[in-house]
Amino acid sequence: MVSKDRLSVEDCAFELDTSTMILESENMQIAKISDYEAEFVKKVQSSLEFWGEDGVKQGNLLKEIGKSSDDKTARKYLQKFDGEFWTIQKRPTENNATYYFPLAPIAPLSCA
């Protein structure tokens, strides 16, 4: 993290492929997440890829990735990554049920 503003340096991350020596810019959101979060995101993306544009209710999504609907950490991560890896939509016609949709196209998340 940058500690001084006077240099006007922004945080950035890069990935180096050592076999080809190609340096690519990395998404800072992905670079900052823990291994547990990365695995969680990977599972959710896989599930959302299956459901596609129809979306899936929060309870069904949590069940598919092996979490219970009262898992506060899982629900926190679903909210945290809204707009970055998926989108959330409340449906008033279904008592404000929360639906999750993939971003188009889904970018695969690699877990090292």
pLDDT 10s digits, 32-76? 778 888 899 999 999 998 888 888 999 999 999 999 989 999 999
Q: What is the largest CA-CA distance in the chain?
A: 53
In a domain, 20, yes or no: no
Confidence check: pLDDT of 26 > 90? no
Our separate counts of H helices and E strands in the chain read: 4, 5
Range of the domain at 85: 34-102
Identify the pLDDT of residue 99. Answer: 94
Chain-centre distance for alpha carbon 15: 19
In a domain, 40, yes or no: yes
Identify the pLDDT of residue 106. Answer: 44
Task: Answer for the pair 74, 62: CB distance below 8 angstroms, yes or no.
Answer: yes
pTM of structure: 0.66
In a domain, 19, yes or no: no
Structural domain count of the chain: 1
In a domain, 64, yes or no: yes
Distance CA 96, CA 66 (A): 23
In a domain, 41, yes or no: yes
Distance CA 38, CA 109 (A): 7
Residues in the chain, total? 112
* Domain CATH number, residue 78: 1.10.10
In a domain, 3, yes or no: no
In a domain, 87, yes or no: yes
Distance CA 51, CA 46 (A): 9
